[in-house]
Amino acid sequence: MSSGVPASPIRCIWESCHSFHFIFFAETSCNMVRGYVQEHIYRHPWERVTAANWRKYADPEHRPLLSHVVDVSIVNRTEDQEGGQLLTTRSITVNTPGPWWLQRLMGTNVCQCLEESIVDNGKRSLEMITRNVTLKDFVDVEEKCSYLPHPDNANWTLFRQETNITCASMPALKSVAEKIEQKCAEKFQQNSARGREVVEFVCKALERAETASKDQPQLVVNSEQSFDAHSGSPCNTNVWKIFERAEFVGATL
């Protein structure tokens, strides 16, 4: 959560028995700030949910739900064998939220973002931070997401998303700044809900595949993931075999 005490009003919105939203907004001397926290419980183990997260953009059946994502590309990926971590940086291009007049004001209909993620296999944690790298003259967005085993049920996964939107100070156009924030917040929450829907669908598909094959839950979702796309040789069967094909399952739309 951002530093300081948010100004009122503060609202807590319950979506269902598995999700909730906590929304706040505040005005500082320089900028308008709006943010919200969302949590969702997946009734699936951490390994299955994180597998679904990596491949949600490549799911063809539900691709229309994530049509706001134009392109996803892996910029860098580093495996820390000693620390048991996988660090990945992805470039994500999304459609600019808001109506046509907002896109006209910003001068573009797309926004470039950078996502940095850390997977800790030992702790069973996946943490991601996404920030926009363009349109910063208008708005700054920071989104922090985490996937962790549920504290009350190790076979469930707790997803937490914290988003902060800071609109550039526009003294003469305060109402415009507020509308930009509002439109961004509304669109982000809609897209988040759609993203969770796709992850749920992929989790169920993985569960069916695991049941059919009578294998233990794992992140390898198809046979192609066990081979290197460049050399054609089998990948090393280490703890990261489940992520070796991240670019195959999640980065090429």
In a domain, 111, yes or no: no
In a domain, 8, yes or no: no
Q: Which residues contact 219 (CB under 8 A, 6 or more apart)?
A: 47, 48, 50, 51, 54, 241, 242, 243
The reply to whether omega before 9 is within 30° of 0 (cis) is yes
Smallest CA-to-CA distance from 44 within 126, 123, 172, 149 is with 149
Q: What is the CATH number of the domain that holds 156?
A: 3.30.530.20
Query: Residue 138: what pLDDT?
Result: 79
Using the Cα atoms of residue 45, residue 50, residue 53 and residue 59 in order, give the sign of their dihedral.
negative
How far apart, in whole angstroms, are the C-alpha atoms of residue 123 and residue 85?
10
Q: Which residues contact 8 (CB under 8 A, 6 or more apart)?
A: none
Integer distance in angstroms from the first to the last C-alpha of the chain?
A: 32
Q: What are 27's two structure tokens?
A: 């005005």
Per-residue pLDDT of the chain (253 residues; tens, 9 = 90+): 444 434 333 344 444 445 555 544 444 445 566 788 999 999 999 999 999 999 888 877 888 888 889 999 999 999 988 888 999 999 999 987 666 666 777 778 888 999 999 999 899 999 999 999 998 887 889 999 999 999 999 999 999 999 988 877 665 566 666 776 777 778 888 888 899 999 999 999 999 988 887 655 544 433 333 333 333 344 443 333 333 333 333 332 2
- H or E element in which residue 251 lies: none
How far apart, in whole angstroms, are the C-alpha atoms of residue 147 and residue 125?
6
Residues 130, 131, 132, 136: what is their CA dihedral angle, to the nearest 10 degrees?
Answer: 170
Query: Residue 95: what pLDDT?
Result: 86
Query: Residue 173: what pLDDT?
Result: 60
In a domain, 100, yes or no: no
In a domain, 149, yes or no: yes
In a domain, 233, yes or no: no
Count how many domains the chain has: 1
In a domain, 154, yes or no: yes
Q: At what angle do helices 174-213 and 46-55 cross, to 10 degrees?
A: 120
Reported residue count of the chain is 253
Going from the C-alpha of 55 to that of each of 60, 127, 198, 213, 242, the distances in angstroms are 10, 16, 10, 20, 11
How far apart, in whole angstroms, are the C-alpha atoms of residue 240 and residue 126?
13
In a domain, 148, yes or no: yes
Contact present, 245 and 228 (Cβ < 8 Å): no
Domain of 132, in residue numbers: 32-70+117-212
Contact present, 23 and 7 (Cβ < 8 Å): no
Q: Is the pTM of this model over 0.75?
A: no
Contact present, 90 and 251 (Cβ < 8 Å): yes
Q: What are 26's two structure tokens?
A: 């505040």
In a domain, 200, yes or no: yes
Query: Residue 216: what pLDDT?
Result: 53
Residue with token string 């926004």: 111
Query: Residue 192: what pLDDT?
Result: 87
How far apart, in whole angstroms, are the C-alpha atoms of residue 190 and residue 184?
10
Smallest CA-to-CA distance from 55 within 188, 160, 236, 209 is with 209
CA 55 to chain centre: 12
Query: Residue 24: what pLDDT?
Result: 46
135 residue type, one letter:
L
